[in-house]
Amino acid sequence: MRKKIIVSFLVTYGIFIACIYFYLFIFHTDTIPAELKGTSVDPERFLTAHEIVLSEQYSTVRNFLFFIEVPFEWFFYLLILLFGIGNLFEKWANRTTPFTLIHNAIFTFCLSFLTFIFFYPLKFFRYTLSKNYGISTQSFHDWMRDLLINFWLDWFLLFIVVSVLYWLIRKSENRWWLYTWFLAIPFVVFLMFIQPVVIDPLFNDFYEIKNKSLEEKILSLAETAGIPSEHVYEVNMSEKTNALNAYVTGVGSNSRIVLYDTTLEKLNEDEILFIMAHEMAHYVEKHIYFGITGYLSLLFLLLFVVAKLAKKVIKKFGKLLHISSMNNLASLPLILLIVSVLTFATSPISNVVSRQMEMRADLYAMELTKNNDAAVSTFQKLTKTGLSQVNPPTLVKWFRYGHPTMLERIQMAERYGD
């Protein structure tokens, strides 16, 4: 039975890879409608012929990696379940210590380490790809440092979540998912609060913007938008990437306006002010809080479905998957598998909501700056530095794009005020 499931999955996975390859590399080409040739959305207007080729190659490979990596993750969890690896980790942890917290720490570390090893080749390929196409500027040493920091951070968060989750499962087999959701609300808000001052500095150095004249203009823009902020922060992303970005992060007193140093180097003043106005829009229109609300609403649905579905799967296939009950830590890979599948299935809906908020932020920025020319040139430079596609394939837009496509953003900027 186990062999049959694995073979069936691999055959289906192979067919899926072939279909995605045909769709991305053969069926679709990054073209724009004929009537838009020669307009501001035409890549030939702001990219060289070489950059157009690089953009198509880089974006297509990245999109292909995304679509093959998702079911690859499902296969990973499936192997753990079918071979009873989670069950072995739990038995080993039980023999090692009688203390539940240490037991949880050992189990989550083993699972996290196995995950790290299994997915490392894909992560390294992504790093190499980005490096070869001139997007990443990060040395291998620094990349590994960030990867290891991220590993320990993910393990620590997983340890906390698992410890609370399984304590609730053992206390209430039927309502654990609801109690988990209630506890997730303050936990998510707390993470958002500490992220700018605790988590982000683990990966990058933040300091007050050096260009004080520009800072005054940004703060003036923030004052017009009603955003309480005394400083604009700069982050040294040029050590890692050539890409451009800026963001408003955090909640409450830890809210921050942050600019990549690459953005300061490669955009002119008007373009920087447009980007900052866009990010300020997320603050003004409470998009951060809408995002938290949306995430928690989705989490409520996910936990409910996981609770019902996992119970049925264990009842029917528990012996095959080496899980005797939900109380066992060995059921964690099953929970993660179900969450991964549901997250992927619902991502088009999440992306639609995100694209709407990003579009509103673009409109707000143009209303605040009164400079749609700066908007157009900004989008063109973002495309150029990130080797992005102006008009990506429909499936890519549905599953990957939390922002409108560059074609849509440039068109909207040009039409603004008409």
What is the C-alpha separation between 394 and 160, in angstroms, rounded?
A: 38
Is-contact 346 263, C-beta < 8 A?
A: no
Strand 256-260 and strand 246-249: the pairing is: antiparallel
Backbone angles phi, psi at 232, to 5 degrees: -110, 135
How far is it between the farthest Cα atoms of the chain? Answer: 72
* Vertex 168 angle, CA 163 and 174, to 5°: 145
Contact 234, 206 (CB under 8 A): yes
Residue 403: count of CB within 10 angstroms of its CB: 19
Angstrom distance (rounded) from CA 327 to CA 304: 17
Q: For residues 182 and 188, is the Cβ–Cβ distance under 8 A? A: no
**What single-letter DSSP state applies at residue 233?**
E
Q: Which of 56, 234, 271, 279 is catalytic?
A: 279
Q: Tokens for 149, please give them.
A: 């920091």
| DSSP assignment letter at 42 | -
Asked if 265 is an active-site residue, the reply is no
294 close to 347: Cβ distance less than 8 angstroms: no
Give the span between the Cα atoms of 20 and 26, in whole angstroms: 10
The DSSP annotation for 48-86 comes to -HHHHHHHHHHHHHHHHHHHHHHHHHHHHHHHHHHTTHH
Quick count: other Cβ atoms within 10 Å of Cβ 357? 20
Contact 362, 409 (CB under 8 A): yes
Task: Give the sheet arrangement for strand 232-235, strand by strand.
Answer: 206-208, 232-235, 256-260, 246-249
Q: How far is CA 356 from CA 58, 168, 274, 290, 328, in A?
A: 26, 37, 18, 12, 41
Which residues are catalytically annotated? 279
